[in-house]
């Protein structure tokens, strides 16, 4: 009988240790939230502000050697003037494809060719267009917030499952607080990025 009791005690102790070992992978949640913020950064880079910037062409992909390749990986991007971006394409055979990718990118800029150099003159934006762009930036930011909240929801679902598997109430509160803190921090980063981008767009 004593052996049976001891076995039961060991089982209960083992269950307790398992419950204590339950952890939520907040590193994965943080990585996914950062992914949403990185996507937002690329979307912001595609918004013309009236000032030349090498980051403008970062989202543009070129069909190079049979696979989509970032424009800035097939040539040297320079900003020689406040309203001019140039791309010196290393392989002459890719100049036409790069020009096509720029025209189809939605930047709204007509590229000009000079040998292997593609010139992008940046037209000045009027106030109406600037206000439109701030609204587009706000939409991009809201999409990023939604993505971050979806990651938060996944994290909270993991915590609920862990509670069902034996996680203590104290641990549940700890992990919920950790996930919420991560979410708040990520949303604040998005808000700050939006504020900066809108100010940049409206700057004449």
Query: Which domains are assigned to the chain?
Result: 25-44+127-202 (1.10.132.20), 63-121 (3.30.1360.40)
Is the pLDDT confidence value at 4 over 60?
A: no
For residues 133 and 33, what is the distance between their CA atoms, to the nearest angstrom? 24
- Confidence (pLDDT) at 50: 66
* Comparison of pLDDT for 48 and 125, the residue scoring more: 125
Is the pLDDT confidence value at 2 over 50?
A: no
- Model pLDDT for residues 136-176, shown as the tens digit of each residue: 889 999 999 999 999 999 999 998 988 888 888 888 899 99
**pLDDT tier at 22, thresholds 50, 70, 90:** low
Is the pLDDT confidence value at 18 over 70?
A: no
Residue where the block lists tokens 């979806």: 150
Q: What are phi and psi of 50, to 5 degrees?
A: 95, -10
> Which SS3 state, helix, strand or coil, does residue 113 take?
strand
The phi-psi region of residue 22 (left if phi > 0; otherwise alpha if psi is between -120 and 50; otherwise beta) is: beta
* Beta-bridge partners for 19: none
Please, is 178 exposed, middle or buried when counting C-beta atoms within 10 Å of its C-beta (0-12, 13-18, 19+)? middle
For residues 130 and 127, what is the distance between their CA atoms, to the nearest angstrom? 5
* Comparison of pLDDT for 174 and 23, the residue scoring more: 174
- Model pLDDT for residues 98-126, shown as the tens digit of each residue: 888 888 877 777 888 888 888 888 877 78
pLDDT more than 90, % of the chain: 26
- Confidence (pLDDT) at 10: 39
């Amino acid at each position: 009988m004593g052996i049976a009791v001891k076995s039961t005690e060991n089982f209960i102790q083992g269950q307790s240790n398992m419950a204590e070992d339950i952890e939520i992978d907040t590193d994965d949640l943080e990585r996914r939230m950062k992914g949403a913020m990185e996507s937002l950064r690329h979307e912001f880079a595609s918004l013309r502000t009236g000032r030349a910037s090498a980051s403008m062409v970062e989202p543009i992909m070129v069909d190079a050697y049979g696979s989509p390749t970032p424009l800035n990986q097939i040539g040297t991007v320079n900003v020689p003037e406040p309203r001019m971006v140039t791309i010196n394409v290393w392989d002459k055979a890719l100049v036409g494809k790069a020009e096509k990718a720029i025209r189809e990118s939605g930047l709204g800029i007509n590229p000009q060719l000079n040998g292997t150099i593609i010139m992008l003159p940046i037209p000045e934006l009027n106030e109406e267009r600037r206000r439109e762009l701030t609204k587009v930036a706000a939409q991009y930011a809201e999409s990023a917030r939604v993505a971050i909240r979806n990651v938060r929801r996944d994290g909270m679902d993991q915590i609920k499952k862990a509670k069902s598997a034996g996680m203590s109430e104290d641990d549940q509160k700890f992990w919920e607080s950790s996930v919420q803190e991560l979410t708040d921090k990520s949303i604040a980063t998005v808000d700050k990025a939006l504020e900066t981008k809108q100010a940049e767009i409206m700057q004449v």
